[in-house]
Amino acid sequence: MFDTKKKRFAIAGAVAAAAITAAVVPMGMAVAGHTNVVLEADLTGRAEVGTSNRLAGDPNGRGEAYVFGVDGDPTTLCYVLTVDKVGTPVAAHIHEGAAGTNGPVVVNLAAPADGNAADCLTEGEAGKFVGDQTVAEILADPGSYYVNVHNAEYPGGAVRGQLAVER
């Protein structure tokens, strides 16, 4: 089910990144293809980490996230986020933390209220990057970060997925 959505939103994200790149690259300067890595995360309720041995996230929930930088702009991070089979999301974040551990929020993402969200965020943008985390740090060490989506039923996180270089 996600394959069609995934492709559509990945294309939309790539188009958004290309538009931003075109806006920041001076006229006459050649850009020969995308050089930033694309990170992905498969989101599931089973990946959420709670304080007990019982399932912390939504057992039916699932989703996918794609995170990538913008060529020529090392301070901008773009993402495409889709979720399914979860109650209406109220928040989404990138957290710092290894698989199996919880960690602090480092980037606030748009809640995918209709199941989809996508945007590009720039370091220093009010309310988006939390603390002193940089785009370069996230892209360089994706395994140290995860994406999760919260809703009213699962305020600690309905679905979660560790970032990794796209397969």
Return the domain boundaries, the chain.
2-27+36-165
The DSSP symbol for 129 reads: B
Cβ neighbours around 154 below 10 Å, total: 24
Exposed/middle/buried for residue 35 (C-beta within 10 Å: 0-12, 13-18, 19+): exposed
148 and 43 Cβ atoms separated by less than 8 Å: yes
Q: Name the residue with higher pLDDT: 140 or 23.
A: 140
The DSSP symbol for 147 reads: E
Give the chain's count of helices (H) and strands (E). 2, 9
- For residue 144, pLDDT beyond 60: yes
Q: Name the residue with higher pLDDT: 116 or 53.
A: 116
pLDDT value at position 67?
Answer: 96
Candidate from 34-38, 56-60, 135-139 with smallest mean pLDDT = 34-38
CB-facing half-sphere around the CA of 103: CA atoms within 13 A? 22
- Does the pTM surpass 0.85? The reply is no
pLDDT single digits (tens) 75-125 = 999 999 999 999 999 999 999 999 999 999 999 999 999 999 999 999 999
Specify the DSSP element, H or E, that contains 131.
none
**CA dihedral of residues 19, 23, 28, 31 (deg, nearest 10):** -50
pLDDT value at position 53?
Answer: 63
pLDDT single digits (tens) 3-52 = 555 544 444 554 454 444 444 444 444 444 567 789 999 999 999 998 76
